[in-house]
């Protein structure tokens, strides 16, 4: 009579998704009740229900269920970045200021990470090169987890501020540069040299994609979507324009991944190219339902990917030192060029803090190094811990940094009010 119960195991996809959404809802309420970013609660709960503590869910563990949950998490990141893009005017994001800040935020962390790893790395095991592992540890400190930073800015309703525009623009450029650093690191570690042809292709293709993709979206896609929405709405199909906009985000994500950069960059470019549409407000309202379903799965998966059970004392010390260097090098690396391009000390500090999170990008770099045999499992765990810690602490630090400096905002954004509203939300 109850044979159907035999299929309800923790490996059941629908049971895991039910668990993920339930804990996401509960953690969001609890952390908002105490004035903390809900994504912070989702990541922490992800650690608890993942293999580190309870082992209730698996993400990308090789099984069909774990891989499917990971796909849902990736979809959540794409949806989040598309929504962020819809609130960002493309002409105010991709600027010379953003590029200068991003370059500073790449060079210093890479060099600092390499130096620390070369000094503190545990003895390399058989088949591992100390130099190669150091190069990859440095590379893991380079790219910003733009989805984390963007999520904090969105939660505090600060996407209209001047600093947010500089920060998001620099973070996107930073992600592209991070993939270039990954290519250089992989070539140096595996072949003793760099594939300059492949590197040149990545640089040209990434630049062309951002420029052409943004232009096509703003000049062609917006007109097509508006026309489709108008024609279909007259026949009672009011969701047609929204679906077409979502298709554009997914297509841009495919192109972005094909080039060799993160899919979330493509989604962000698609969003920014549609930001000036009159239908933008309606699209954001329609996207909010998808956001509540899939974005929490993304943040929960970041915590669930961590397994701290096998960490040695030496590895924990290295992880702590690497986390400190990750904070200091990114803040200094962005603060200096931000000051040089005319930003105030407070604005530059906010940009630097906002560029600190490394989680999913560090995971990508670390996982690549692990799968191709460049870094050991222990070093991979250290990179994951560093990414987790920067992701856990940077959002709250960013939130407090912004809330303390009322001058850092555009005329239509009250930063103090937004910070106080976030603290008092329930």
For every residue of 112-147, which 3-state class applies, written as one string?
HHHHHHHHHCCCCCCCCCHHHHHHHHHHHCCCCCHH
Tokens of 186: 């992989």
Instruction: Compare 270 and 40 and report the one with higher pLDDT.
Output: 270
pLDDT at position 366 is 78
Non-local (6+) Cβ contacts of 13 within 8 A are: 64, 65, 68, 69
Sign of CA dihedral 373, 117, 194, 172: positive
% of the chain beyond a pLDDT of 70? 77
Q: Tell me phi and psi for residue 70, to 5 degrees.
A: -65, -40
Cα–Cα distance for residue pair 342/379, rounded to 1 Å:
39
Domain 81-298+308-413 part of CATH 1.20.1530.20: yes
- Reported as a single tens digit per residue, the pLDDT across 111-151 is 999 999 888 876 655 556 778 888 888 988 987 877 677 77
% of the chain beyond a pLDDT of 90? 9
- 39 with 395: CB under 8 angstroms? yes
- Reported as a single tens digit per residue, the pLDDT across 261-316 is 777 778 888 888 887 787 777 887 888 788 787 888 777 877 777 777 777 888 89
pLDDT at position 347 is 83
Cα–Cα distance for residue pair 290/75, rounded to 1 Å:
10
Tokens of 13: 């996809």
Average pLDDT, the chain: 76
Cα–Cα distance for residue pair 197/160, rounded to 1 Å:
39
| Residue carrying the six token digits 């420029």 | 211
**Closest among 95, 164, 151, 91 to 412, alpha carbons compared:** 164
Average pLDDT over residues 240-260: 87
pLDDT at position 29 is 77
Residue 404: pLDDT band by 50, 70, 90 thresholds?
low
Residue 170 pLDDT greater than 90, yes or no? no
Instruction: Compare 187 and 124 and report the one with higher pLDDT.
Output: 187
pLDDT at position 129 is 73
| Residue carrying the six token digits 């490394």 | 358
- Reported as a single tens digit per residue, the pLDDT across 57-107 is 666 555 555 567 777 777 888 888 888 778 766 666 667 888 888 889 889
Residue 209 pLDDT greater than 70, yes or no? yes
pTM: 0.68
Non-local (6+) Cβ contacts of 265 within 8 A are: 81, 146, 172, 175, 176, 210, 256
Query: Which alpha helices (DSSP H) does 192-221 contain, by range?
Result: 196-216
Half-sphere exposure for 171 (CA within 13 Å, toward CB): 33
The top-scoring range by mean pLDDT among 43-47, 190-194, 196-200, 307-311 is 43-47
- Reported as a single tens digit per residue, the pLDDT across 365-390 is 777 777 777 887 788 888 888 888 88
Domain extents in the chain: 81-298+308-413
- 94 with 210: CB under 8 angstroms? yes
Cα–Cα distance for residue pair 402/166, rounded to 1 Å:
14
- Reported as a single tens digit per residue, the pLDDT across 314-338 is 889 999 999 999 999 999 999 999 8
Average pLDDT over residues 220-235: 86
């Amino acid at each position: 009579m109850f044979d159907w119960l035999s299929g309800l195991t923790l490996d059941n996809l629908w049971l895991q998704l039910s668990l993920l959404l339930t804990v996401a809802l509960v953690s969001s309420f609890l952390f908002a009740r105490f004035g903390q970013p809900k994504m912070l609660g989702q990541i922490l709960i992800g650690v608890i229900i993942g293999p580190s503590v309870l082992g209730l869910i698996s993400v990308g563990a090789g099984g069909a269920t774990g891989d499917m949950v990971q796909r849902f998490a990736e979809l959540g990141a794409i949806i989040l970045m598309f929504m962020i893009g819809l609130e960002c005017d493309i002409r105010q994001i991709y600027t010379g200021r953003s590029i200068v800040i991003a370059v500073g935020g790449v060079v210093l962390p890479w060099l600092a990470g390499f130096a620390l790893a070369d000094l503190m790395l545990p003895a390399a095991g058989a088949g591992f090169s100390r130099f190669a592992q150091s190069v990859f540890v440095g590379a893991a400190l380079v790219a910003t987890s733009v989805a984390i930073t963007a999520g904090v800015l969105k939660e505090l309703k600060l996407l209209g501020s001047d600093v947010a525009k500089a920060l998001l623009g620099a973070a996107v450029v930073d992600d592209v540069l991070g993939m270039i650093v990954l290519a250089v690191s992989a070539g140096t570690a595996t072949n003793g040299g760099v594939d300059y042809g492949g590197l040149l292709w990545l640089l040209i293709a990434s630049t062309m994609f951002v420029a052409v993709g943004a232009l096509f979206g703003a000049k062609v896609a917006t007109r097509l979507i508006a026309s489709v929405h108008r024609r279909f709405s007259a026949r009672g199909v009011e969701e047609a324009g929204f679906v077409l906009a979502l298709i554009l985000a997914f297509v841009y994500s495919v192109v972005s991944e094909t080039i060799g950069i993160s899919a979330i960059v493509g989604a962000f470019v698609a969003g920014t190219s549609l930001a000036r549409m009159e239908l933008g407000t309606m699209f954001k309202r329609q996207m909010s339902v998808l956001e509540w379903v899939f974005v929490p799965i993304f943040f929960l998966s970041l915590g669930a990917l961590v397994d701290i059970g096998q960490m040695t004392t030496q590895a924990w010390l290295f992880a702590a030192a690497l986390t400190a260097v990750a904070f200091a090098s990114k803040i200094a690396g962005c603060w200096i060029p931000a000051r040089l391009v005319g930003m105030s000390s407070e604005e530059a500090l906010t940009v630097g803090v906002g560029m600190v999170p490394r989680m999913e990008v560090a995971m990508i770099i670390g996982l690549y190094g692990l799968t191709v045999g460049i870094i050991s499992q222990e070093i991979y765990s250290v990179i994951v811990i560093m990414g987790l810690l920067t992701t856990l602490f940077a959002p709250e630090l960013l939130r407090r940094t912004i809330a303390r400096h009322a001058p850092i905002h555009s005329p239509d954004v009250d930063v103090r009010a937004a910070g106080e509203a976030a603290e008092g939300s329930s």
